[in-house]
Amino acid sequence: EAVESVRETVHDLRPRAESDAAALRRLVAEFRFCPVDLSIDDRGFGALPGAHREACVAAVRELLTNAARHSRARSISIAIESGSRVRLFYRDDGVGASRIREGLGLSGLRRRIESLGGTAAVSGHDGFAVRCVIPLGGGDG
């Protein structure tokens, strides 16, 4: 019941209807009703340009939705770092998969990140992990 409620809430969130920071806080708050230990380090989030913040919110929304639907995870960690690049790291201890099938959600996440010149790498080994890197105006990061 709680998982279904989180699925619906996470799916229904729209970052355009509220600030990106509020949308991210709301995603995390709503997901805390799941029996999952969720840690998020979003210290790098506030200084990001709008398109990068929107991409991070959309990615977190998709990843939490997937976790609620598929992972059976007990713990999830998310970190958003910024420097000359945005780095978004997601890892859970769920069931993972030797072969990841990218459905609409993950392929949409990848397209959004790539539209900003970034990359998204997905791994199903020892749970599920995603690493997104998006450049911020050039330079190494």
Which is it for strands 85-92 and 128-135: parallel, antiparallel or unpaired? Answer: antiparallel
- Phi first, then psi: what are they for 86, rounded to 5°? -90, 135
Q: Is residue 54 classed as helix, strand or coil in its secondary structure?
A: helix
Distances (CA, A) of 66 to 94, 114, 128, 135, 141: 11, 20, 10, 25, 28
What's the CATH code of the domain at 23? 3.30.565.10
Q: What is the pLDDT of residue 30?
A: 86
Residue 40: inside a domain, yes or no? yes
Domain that holds residue 27: 2-135
Residue 140: inside a domain, yes or no? no
Residue 131: inside a domain, yes or no? yes
**pLDDT tens for the 141 residues of the chain, in order:** 665 666 555 555 544 446 888 888 888 888 877 889 999 999 889 889 999 999 999 999 999 998 988 889 999 999 999 999 999 999 999 987 766 777 778 899 999 999 999 999 999 888 999 999 999 974 444
Total-model pTM: 0.80
Residue 115: inside a domain, yes or no? yes
Q: What is the pLDDT of residue 141?
A: 41
Burial 17-46 (b: 16+ CB within 10 A, else e): eeebeebbebbbebbeebebebebebebbe
Residue 36: inside a domain, yes or no? yes
| Domains in the chain, number | 1
Residue 126: inside a domain, yes or no? yes
Q: What is the pLDDT of residue 140?
A: 41
CA distance 130 to 77: 11
